[in-house]
Chain A
Amino acid sequence: MLRFLDFSPRFRSFCNWLIVVGSILLCLMILPTRLPGTELLGIRPNWLLIWVVVWSVKRNAYQGAIAGIALGLIQDGLTAFDGVPMVDGIMPPNFEGSEGSTTDLLLSYPSHVITLMLVGILTAKIQKQRYIQEDFISIALIVFGMAVVAETITAIQYSIQGLRNITLVWTEHQRIALSSAILSSLWAPVLYYPLNRWWEYMSDRDQSL
């Protein structure tokens, strides 16, 4: 099996796809669970963000962006409520309020696509060779920074669309950004180490042939 892996580029590339898709699926499976040790103040690590960072760290901005867009779309799908009337239409007999009976939130809802795409591009653009060593600590640091960036972008999207109370959004942002950044950066090596080993092996093989 390993021999075969060594000498067949086609099989290797097939395995690469398997590992990429498998690791994304794994992240998607962990996302809704509450594994012990992954929770801080009710906040859990942002596994998809970790994945995007791990992917983009040694790739160019284009690849980072595509990964971000793809995972963003998936996460949007997992949080969306398409075509569901959202705001309870309450019609008191003589209340002339501005509350509409139903509001279609589909378009005005914050999207993960923007967030994760920017994370992918930024991570790829960081000049790691020059500023940061390639190791666990630097990955943890990048994930920490990116988690804060991501939550901030979400908070900005919320503030712009005005669906939520803005002060509430920003108090929530502080809580979410900090916990999520700490947890994500602590858990990042779990994903980074195996994937990085595999991709290093891949590039070694591809170069030696």
Chain B
Amino acid sequence: MFTVRRWWDRYGPRFFVTGLVLAAALFLRQTQGAFVSELYYRMVQSFQPGPTPQERWADARVSELETKLVNIEQQNQKLQELLDYTETYQGELIAAPVIGRSVDHWWKQVTLGRGSTSGIKTGYVVSSPGGLVGRVIKVTPNTSRVLLASDPTSKVGGKIARNNFMGYIRGEGSDTAVMEFFDKVPDVKPGDKIVTSPVSYLFPAGIPIGTVETVDLEKSPAPEVVVKFTAPFDYLEWVVVHPFESRL
């Protein structure tokens, strides 16, 4: 008893403080830093950018429209056949400013300045002028965290806009990504537009993703194609959030 008492007298306060610190940190871990995100939102609110910088995105916008057009032409041709073709966008779109970047270089995420009070939910899909940006992975009342399509853990089901060859696009941490096809010999050439595929669980069909840069059909086990994202990940300032329930 005495030794316990002496131990406590000596190490008790330290033990207590350590426990407190770790408990606080664990709390932040479990809530995925919701408190920090909210605080950050309050901080940057005064530095918010004004209206959208339209000019800078003019090029990206044109590219997006081109991609959409190719897709729609193809969609028109095959509308009767594609009975399971789902609605591209459902519900009302939410515009949101990008207020922060990922807190670690290995992760490709952005923080948006709108959250559950604006109706955003986890799993909603984010796009910008240019095309697909990513998916909402965490929502707090005023902020939401988005996993970019360029993150190496992100896999997006995609297809070539002008035909139906499908595959998935794996982020590489930069503004290009690798697309792997399911078919052995897909009909693909540089310049092809890639859109999200209609069989993807996590994304609505038909959102432009990028343009094919190089093609390597010899790659084993599946042909590999380098895709350049049309969304300007480095200059994102405003994005659009599409309500979407994942089909899982």
Contacts and interface: CB of A to CB of B under 8 A. Distances in A.
A191 interface: no
Contact of B166 (A43, A78, A90, A99): A90
Given A90-B199, A92-B199, A163-B153, A78 B103 contact: yes
Interface stretch (A24-32, A122-130, A132-140): A24-32
Nearest to B122: A84
B246 A74 contact: no
Nearest 4 A/B pairs, CB to CB? A32-B100, A90-B157, A70-B25, A73-B25
B106 interface: yes
Interface in B65-105: 99-105
A74 B102 contact: no
Interface in B9-43: 18, 21-22, 24-26, 28-33, 36-37, 39-40, 43
Contacts of B213: none
Interface in B108-137: 109, 111, 122-123, 137
Interface string A7-39: 000000000000000000100110111100000
B152 interface: yes
B104 A168 contact: no
Contacts of B29: 73-74, 76-77, 80
10 contacts: A32-B40, A71-B25, A84-B122, A84-B147, A85-B202, A86-B155, A90-B197, A92-B166, A92-B182, A151-B105
Interface string A75-115: 11111111011111111100101010110010000101000
Nearest to A165: B152
A78 B32 contact: yes
A112 B201 contact: no
B154 interface: yes
Contact of B101 (A28, A34, A80, A99): A34
Contacts of A172: 106, 173
A176 B174 CA distance: 12
Interface of B: 18, 21-22, 24-26, 28-33, 36-37, 39-40, 43-44, 99-107, 109, 111, 122-123, 137-138, 145, 147, 152-157, 166-168, 172-173, 182, 197, 199-203, 234, 246, 248
Contact of B248 (A28, A70, A81, A89): A89
Contact of B24 (A70, A76, A112, A180): A70
Contacts of A186: none
Nearest to B30: A77
A168 B202 contact: no
B122 to A, nearest CB: 6
Contacts of B137: 81, 84
B103 A32 contact: yes
Nearest to B106: A154
Given A79-B109, A90-B199, A32 B101 contact: yes
B101 A75 contact: no
A165 B171 CA distance: 11
A80 B103 contact: no
A87 B149 CA distance: 11
A162 to B, nearest CB: 12
A44 B197 CA distance: 35
A28 B182 contact: no
Contacts of B111: 32
A73 B155 contact: no
Given A29-B40, A84-B123, A74 B154 contact: no
